[in-house]
Amino acid sequence: MKMQPTQFHERIVSIDVLRGFAVLGILIMNIQSFAMISAAYLNPTAYGNLTGANRWVWILSHVFADTKFWTIFSLLFGAGIVLFTERLKAKGINSIALHYRRILWLLIFGLMHAYLLWSGDILVAYSVCGLLTVLFRNLKPKSLLWIGIAFFSVSSLLYLLSGFSMPFWPEESLYGLKETWLPSEETIRHQLEALRGSWISQMEVRVPDSLSMQTYIFFYNTGWRTFGLMLIGMGLYKLGILSARKSTGFYIRMALIALLVGFPLVLLGVVNNFNHEFSLDYSFFLGSQFNYWGSLGVSLGYVAIMMLVVKACKNGWIVKSLKAVGQMAFTNYLMQTIICTFIFYGHGLGFFGKIERTGQILIVLPVWTFQMIVSPVWLKYFKYGPFEWLWRSLTYWKLQPMKK
């Protein structure tokens, strides 16, 4: 049978809308990574002003955005694997072979993104986890949810065990972690000079940071978390939750329960971390777990709210715009990197380390506006976003028709 990518009439509106919501929201946190030294993402006291409006920007970003949109992305990636393989299987196509080809191309894109543009890339983690999560695709929804939670828990366990064992660490390990959490003036100066410099000089920071993301951080945090969330996403998709098939009452209850569990946990973490003055021994380990688990609840609450939005105003402008952004999520994610690295890095305007958190949010808003306007206009004339078209063409090993 001839292999063809998913056609527009086959797309699930709610998943596209949710994906668009996630790709826009993830910039709230990513902008900090684009604009400031890497430690400032985890520890707000490591760099920049944290008083007045800047303090509130960090608090609100942390409570409403930190890892929440990444969580939704991971859930959707897992759901997408089931959706992709089921549709191919129904057409009599070897879905596993095509899935692995698709994932391996994503890995290549991710490596290029990480080492050529920005070390905060998540595509490499998605592709590596996607190689394994597909093996779980035929499990029942409840099994996927429980196994997903189990994998999700591993990173939390590793953090807690590491925190309790910290008094017994060798000095060199402690020094390395201290530099990650609260870097010295020399380390800060090195990052500022490198990322404000030429594209080549940026490699001094980007390459080791990318290696760290794809090794130590992946095996300690990102891998377990992403893998678990993908399995949970598979289960939620099979239950019909991500395709807006449940009743309005179900989504209202889901939103209330998830948010009433998630937000208090996150807020408790904020209070505790400020009370401990973001000390390494508390905030890196136990202090991080409030948001780790709270973000899962908040994200599921967001999912429920977006399903309600889709059910209530399927033909509204906001739904149509988010749907278009979601259909071009790959392109929009990479475009955020291209735009922001041009603004902050030395090959562009060179504002790295110079714009406070309040100013960073003011950059997020026009990027959102640009993508919400351009995406629907682009899809009026073309079937895919440019990077989606390239990815599909490589996956199916045939140039796909671009114009409508």
Give the pLDDT score at 57: 97
Q: Say if 361 falls within a structural domain.
A: yes
Per-residue pLDDT of the chain (404 residues; tens, 9 = 90+): 444 554 544 579 999 999 999 999 999 999 999 999 999 999 999 999 999 999 999 999 999 999 999 999 999 999 999 999 998 888 888 889 999 999 999 999 999 999 999 999 999 999 999 999 999 999 999 999 999 999 999 999 999 999 999 888 888 888 889 999 999 999 999 999 999 999 999 999 999 999 999 999 999 999 999 999 999 999 999 999 999 999 999 999 999 999 999 999 999 999 999 999 999 999 999 999 999 999 999 999 999 999 999 999 888 899 999 999 999 999 999 999 999 999 999 999 999 999 999 999 999 999 999 999 999 999 999 999 999 999 999 999 999 999 98
Give the total number of structural domains in the chain. 1
Cα–Cα distance for residue pair 333/75, rounded to 1 Å: 16
- Report the amino acid identity of residue 227: F
- Which pLDDT belongs to residue 73? 96
Write the CB contacts of 49 (distance below 8 Å, at least 6 apart in sequence). 356, 357
Q: Does a structural domain hold residue 404?
A: no
Q: How far apart are CA 357 and CA 223, in angstroms?
A: 29
**Beta carbons within 10 angstroms of residue 153's beta carbon:** 15
Give dist(CA 362, CA 278) in Å, integer.
26
CB 307 within 8 A of CB 251: yes
Q: What is the pLDDT of residue 10?
A: 54
Range of the domain at 18: 8-396
- Sign of the Cα torsion 76, 214, 343, 388 reads negative
For residues 335 and 221, what is the distance between their CA atoms, to the nearest angstrom? 26
**Distance from C-alpha of 306 to C-alpha of 309, rounded to nearest angstrom:** 5
Q: Is residue 388 part of a domain?
A: yes
Report the amino acid identity of residue 6.
T
| Residue 378 included in any domain | yes
Task: Decide: 73 and 122 in contact? Cβ < 8 Å.
Answer: yes
Position 45 in a domain:
yes
Q: How far apart are the first and last CA of the chain?
A: 23
How many CA atoms does the CB half-sphere of 266 hold within 13 Å? 24
The model's pLDDT over 209-251, given as tens digits with 9 standing for 90+, comes to 999 999 999 999 999 999 999 999 999 999 999 999 999 999 9
Residue 371, both tokens: 């993508």
- The structure's pTM equals 0.94
Q: Residue 123 falls within a domain, yes or no?
A: yes
What does the pLDDT look like over 56-78, one tens digit per residue? 999 999 999 999 999 999 999 99
- Examine residue 1 and state whether it is found in any structural domain, yes or no: no
2 part of a folded domain: no
